[in-house]
Structure 1
Amino acid sequence: MKALTSFFDRMVQRYLPDAFLFAIILTFVVYLLGVFFTDSGPIQMIEHWGTGFWDLLEFAMQMSLVVVTGYILASTPVVKRFLEKLSTLAKTPSQAVMLVTFVALIACLINYGFGLVVGALFAIHVARRVPTVDYRILIASAYSAFIVWHGGFSASIPLTIATPGHFLEDTMGLIPVVQTLFSPFNIFVVVVLVITLPFFNRYLLKSTENTDKKVDNTALRPPEDDDELVESKATTPAEKLENSQIPSLIIGVMGLAFVIYHFVNSGFDLNINIVNFIFLFLGIILHRTPRRFLDSVGKGVKNAGGIIIQFPFYAGIMGMMVASGLSDQMSLFFVNIATDYTLPFLSFISAGLVNFFVPSGGGQWAVQGPIMIDAALQLDADVAKTTMAIAWGDAWTNMIQPFWALPALAIAGLKVRDIMGFCVMILLFSFIPITIGLLVF
């Protein structure tokens, strides 16, 4: 394991470009595949790319706010004290890695956006407590928890097919979450990963000890305490208003009132918008004054640059994949060799492949759902399991697709090559319980 971990880490450090360049290279690859393997010509592929380029603007804004509002909330005195208190449970590097992995796993099961932010922010506090831990593996451990998101409460595909009016309802009907999220297959995979992943990440840490390559955490922009916000003495009515707690308290109470209204009327609907809403208004209240809140916003916005500039490129890639028919070809290849027993497993593999080019759960379901569900009905395969196989395929290759790592990396101050070698190992490990669940249950 030490040799394999070292190999992937060396390869990634040497050959994996920055996440932005990765998106550009992926754009070139998809463009050439479309030209040579579909009916779309060079000009048509350019058209598909440009037409789809802005299709993820809403999602890009949501993920930018995940980072910014998460930073705002985490920088409040109350939350900082809580995370610092929780981080004291870790005394050694091994305990640090296991604790970060477990906390991030629970957070990702609750909500994927919540988990991405909390995992990275908590890892920073733990790194302060245990400065001898390999910071790269600590952040990789926080991100590894994202593997379970599509088996948790914010899973977009199973929640979609349980909602009346979804676009495949006429074909497959409504499938309640008891057949997907609470199925024996999904429960098995989630439980196994929650129990074993902290130990696996601990072994990743152990496998890098006593190696020739020493990791200098100080070279990775070690986590530092934010400068305390010093409030200058207010001398004008405008400055007095900026440093007053009254505006923050009033608007904060209004925001929390809406949160209560939302849950009363919609149940436990913890979507990405409501998570951002909660983070935002808790941050306003806990920072106490508009001035302190805005100073925190100014620092948090710096972390969202990569997301803002890279998500449109992935939208362009998705546009080429869908409009040219490349995604259909990939899915149909696996459908043509499937049986009723192997279809869920092959759906998982194909979803993992498509996820490289369409790294969005909802977008991937729109692309693959009609093909895979039609195949499941024709082969008399388990429709619910086939659906969850697509969901887990989407989550699986997120481990080596920089798209979703961007928020965590922005918060941690790392580059994608710093963690991706370890994420390859996590990808290989997680393949085992997911496959067992698909083929046994």
Structure 2
Amino acid sequence: MKKQWMWNLLSIVLLAIALVVWIVLPWFAVLGVAVVIALWLLLTRTGRLSLAAARIGIASLPQRWGATSVIVVGIAGVVGVLVAMLAMGRGFQATLDSTGDDTTAIVLRGGSQAETNSVIMRDQVPLIASLPGVARGADNRPLVSPELSQVVNLVSKADGTDVNAQFRGVGEQAWTVHDKVKIIEGRQFKPGLREIVVGKGAQSQFRGLEVGKSLNLGNQAWTVVGVFTSGDAHDSEMWTDTETLASTYNRRAYQSISVRTTGADGYSQFKTAMAADPRLKLDVSTTREYYRKQGGNLSKVLEVLGKFIGTIMAFGAVFGALNTMYAAVATRAREIATMRAIGFRGLPVVVAVMLETMLLALLGGVLGGLIAWAIFNGYSVSTLGSNFSQVVFQFRVSPELLWTGLKWALGIGLVGGLFPALRAARLPITVALREV
């Protein structure tokens, strides 16, 4: 009894290790495994017997559609939830990764991790603008944009609750520094006036951001005069003149400086000159690097959460598959015993039951992936970003995530079919033939 218990425990541990290895296998390794199995099935006598036995079981699936649908629907649910959760994290990170580029620098106070805890004094701006590597516009003015970030409350379109939104003050050169930002409706704000342009993503998530509407922010009336799109995190923001925003909220310093450099070499020159100037104890990074770091923790949390929830659901799907396949083996006991009596050995019977279960798992994985793609791919949502304001982003159901979901489905099928398959192979022929 003790030996049997230890053997079962060892089998479970080895199976768990095999599943982990299976999940992390790259696509070419999975393809290689599939090719080896296919060749074995087609070229060996045992493999051909396994295929013949599997055809018999698969042909009877329509007569057992109620039980087999438990496997398909259960696995589809696991894959759908897993892919949707991972698509949320990938979409959020992709939005931040696409924000900025490698030739635009963001300057923060030394040691600051984000704009919210950064302070840059006004007298430092001319020093920053005079450093080598800073690009100049057509008017020969340095492309430098002193910026402020203010969190304000807006009303969500989804449920009517108050949510945080980012109200950004930008300098006159912001439209050239942030060259992805394009006005698609209305016009740019005018410096010195309480006018706002809003991102397309913010307009889709918050009420009252249509062109011509008036907002009360900081006890002042602001007018929405335009809508812009950037295809990145700035789509979630509202923009205005930085000096107007500073006077409204009594801000005497800036939080960040965005600088357009003359390219990769220009950025290196700018960063080196910044470090060499003792008057400027500031940190410099590319805007791409900065925004990528801002999303790192949340993306990891969403990925871990998705896999954790998927694992819990996978346990349920495994038990459903085990129950269904054990029932299928029991109802087909005479059929399996007959095959054993006419010459089918244990291995073909095991492989036949496994192929049947893996086919159902494959159908469930494909169904779950298609449902996740149809419902969630491109679906826009917002979440709280590192600056305590909402970031609007889209779920991204990529082929990589669909492939991950499919591997999870096949892993569930492997566990759910293995033990019933072993039971079928060990079924005493004389006992099984007497069952009705």
TM-score scaled by structure 2?
Answer: 0.25
- Identify, as 1 or 2, the structure richer in strand: 2
More helix by share: 1
Larger Rg: 2
